[in-house]
Amino acid sequence: MRRLLLSIALAMSAAPALAQGTEEEPQAAPGSIATGMIENANAIGIFDIVHNGQVSVRHLGSGLRCDFDREGNGRIIIFAPPPSAAGAAANPTIPRGDDVACDVTEGAVHMRYFATRYPFGSTLEEQINGVETAILRRDPTAARYPGVAVRDTEDGLPLRRTTRFIVTQNGARLFTSASVARVGDWILKLRYTEPAPDDAAAARADANAAAAFDYALRQVIEAR
């Protein structure tokens, strides 16, 4: 009888929680979320999931890995090649899947990773100049932020070029940078933006951006 009364007491104590619906909703598996992101981007055969317990995908061509948060916030982007035109042999288009990006958001930090294989030569200097032109066109008041422009290969990673700016958007001061490197036939790029209310925060953002790009490059090299 004592055992029966204890069982009834336990059942009654659990009942209110069940009645109130306090049980946590089951979360989708990371692999399922990653698969859905690939399908939403029409990127099957271009990206594949990474079985690492996270919401991660890898670009099959370059080896670029993109790690998203547990909810899969962010997106995969496949840039469409420009329409064919006369003289295409002299100015070839980029095949679909050879120009891709991942948008990754971590709190207030926004990162966009690019992987592009150009059918024509493109230098890191040209890439950086193009990014700088785009930033200044969008925000003519952007102020250059000092930092190392070229990082060499002593750490085992490829040559990297970086440009940095302080911009203001909706009254908020932001650090924004672009870093580029070449691995094989691929140009890898990271656009990084983080709030920087003061110079100390900007310095931390600069270090975070460099670490994020180095990590991505290591992932590419290991995948190859």
Smallest Cα–Cα separation from 145: which of 110, 191, 113, 176?
176
Q: What is the pLDDT of residues 78-91, one digit of tens each?
A: 997 755 544 444 45
Which residues, other chains included, contact 2 with Cβ-Cβ below 8 Å and sequence gap of 6+?
none
Kindly indicate the confidence band of residue 20, based on its pLDDT and cuts at 50, 70 and 90: very low
Q: How far apart are CA 160 and CA 178, in angstroms?
A: 10
Spatial CA neighbour of 205 closest among 172, 158, 182: 172
Q: What is the pLDDT of residues 104-133, one digit of tens each?
A: 999 999 999 999 999 888 899 999 999 999
Residue predicted with more confidence, 193 or 25: 193
Residues 6+ apart with CB under 8 A from 190: 111, 112, 113, 114, 177, 178, 179, 209, 212, 213, 216
pLDDT single digits (tens) 128-165: 999 999 999 999 999 999 999 999 888 899 999 999 99
- Structural domains in the chain plus CATH codes: 26-80+95-223 (3.40.1000)
Read off the pLDDT of residues 23-36 as tens digits, 9 standing for 90 and up. Answer: 555 568 999 999 99
Joined together, the tokens standing for residue 8 give: 């009834």
Report the first-to-last Cα separation within the chain, whole angstroms.
Answer: 68
Tell me if the pTM is above 0.75.
Answer: yes
Q: pLDDT tier at 61 (50, 70, 90 boundaries)?
A: very high
Residue-wise pLDDT for 161-188, tens only, equals 999 999 999 999 999 999 999 999 999 9
Q: Compute and round to an integer the Cα radius of gyration of the chain.
A: 23
β-bridge mates for residue 110, sequence order: 105, 193
Query: Which of the two residues, 16 and 194, has the higher pLDDT score?
Result: 194
Selected residue with higher pLDDT from 12 and 57:
57
The percent of the chain in helix, strand and coil, each rounded to the nearest 5, is: 30, 30, 40
Closest by alpha carbon to 34, among 24, 26, 44?
44
User: Quick check: 72 and 55 in contact, CB under 8 A?
Assistant: yes
